[in-house]
Structure 1
Amino acid sequence: MLCKIDNNLRILYRLSGYTAAFFLILVATFILTGIASRIFGFYIRGLAEYSGYSMAASSFLALAYTFGEKGHIRITLFLEKSKKNIRRILELWCLFVASFFSCYLSYYFIKMLIISIKFGERSEGADEILIWIPQLTVAIGSTIFFICVIHNFILSILKKSNF
């Protein structure tokens, strides 16, 4: 049962990473379109804003994938010098702290999203889109990251992960 959950979560992290890559391609597309439009003498409204929204989506959706692939900056240099028992305690403590802060982050992004939907907030850019649309990807990305950190914390407790 745990193996199936583990596999499904890893698929979720990979999909989140692929979605982040898609948004990164969108950033490049919006920037290149903006450059081309200036060269050819016309203006497309909102390209700078959409590029920013796509960058935020890409950043937050990539968090879980990067964490799962051990791509985040960690304290391994410090941990490698520690004794085995102390190392395990420090790893669990670090994952616990990361779990707390990622939960806090997700909670407030979701709360901000709900408030934006409730009040119908719009962006201040040229296109005035509903601000909850770009906030949704950030909230989803931070929530998937929280799930990933908790997942690794549980695996470390069960000694199935050498994080």
Structure 2
Amino acid sequence: MRRFLDRLYRACGWIAAAFIAAICLLVSAQVLLNSIDRVSTLLTGSAIGLTIPSYADITGFFLAGASFFALAFTLNEGGHIRVSLVVHQVPPRFRRAFEIWAALAGGAAALYFTWYSSVLCYQSYLYGDVSSGMVAVPLWLPQSVMPLGLGVLSIALLDALVTLLKGALPAYAHPAQAIDTDEGALARSVLDGE
């Protein structure tokens, strides 16, 4: 199961990276077309009018895809901002309970948002909502990345909760990943209950 979950998180990270690469390609192509138009205006006095229809909308959809698919991967890699100042103020013997509470609360919030983003996506599908750009994209398509990404984040947070309940460190708090001595000490203290 561990290998499956790690592969799932990694796959989501690769999907997020692919969305970022697609944004770069799309914007670069539009900049090239704008440059050709500019040269045409200088040479002939009029622009050709080259454009990628709805490229701004599409890059926005890709950005949403990258953001939501990156959530679980970033959590698993320890890249999310954690409020260490709060954790350091918790007495050492309660840090483990605090981490369990944080994973439980985060997992519950992620499940809540997964459910409601799924409802939003389904309603967009039922009502036939489309984007308002030059290319009418059915909104359920770009909206579907929200419940997918949040669903995997929910799994990652519940995975962290189960790992903490078993007495181990979740991947995001692993001392080997924590470069700063404060974070490494915190991760070890969570397990030891220091």
- Determine if the TM-score, normalized by the shorter chain, exceeds 0.5: yes
Name the count of aligned residue pairs: 159
Pick the aligned partner of 1:19 from 9, 15, 22. Answer: 15
1:148 is the counterpart of 2:150:
no
Could you tell me how far apart the structure 2 residues matched to 1:61 and 1:136 are?
A: 11
Pick the aligned partner of 1:122 from 130, 136, 152. Answer: 130
* Residue 100 (structure 1) aligns with: 108
- What's the offset of the Cα at 1:135? 1.0
- What's the offset of the Cα at 1:54? 0.3
Could you tell me how far apart the structure 1 residues matched to 2:91 and 2:7 are?
A: 34
1:72 is the counterpart of 2:80:
yes
* Identity fraction in percent: 25
CA contact (8 A) 1:30 1:48 kept: no
Pick the aligned partner of 1:52 from 29, 49, 60. Answer: 60
Instruction: Choose 1 or 2 for highest CA Rg.
Output: 2
Could you tell me how far apart the structure 1 residues matched to 2:89 and 2:32 are?
A: 53
> Any unmatched runs of 5+ in structure 2?
38-49, 174-194
TM score, norm. by length of structure 1: 0.92
- What's the offset of the Cα at 1:85? 2.2
* Residue 7 (structure 1) aligns with: 3
**Larger CA deviation: 19-28 vs 75-84:** 75-84
RMSD over equivalenced CA pairs, Å: 1.3
- What's the offset of the Cα at 1:78? 3.1
Amino acid at match of 2:73: Y
Structure 2 SS opposite 1:40: helix
* Residue 36 (structure 1) aligns with: 32
* Residue 87 (structure 1) aligns with: 95
TM score, norm. by length of structure 2: 0.78
- What's the offset of the Cα at 1:109? 0.9
Moved over 3 A (4+): 80-84
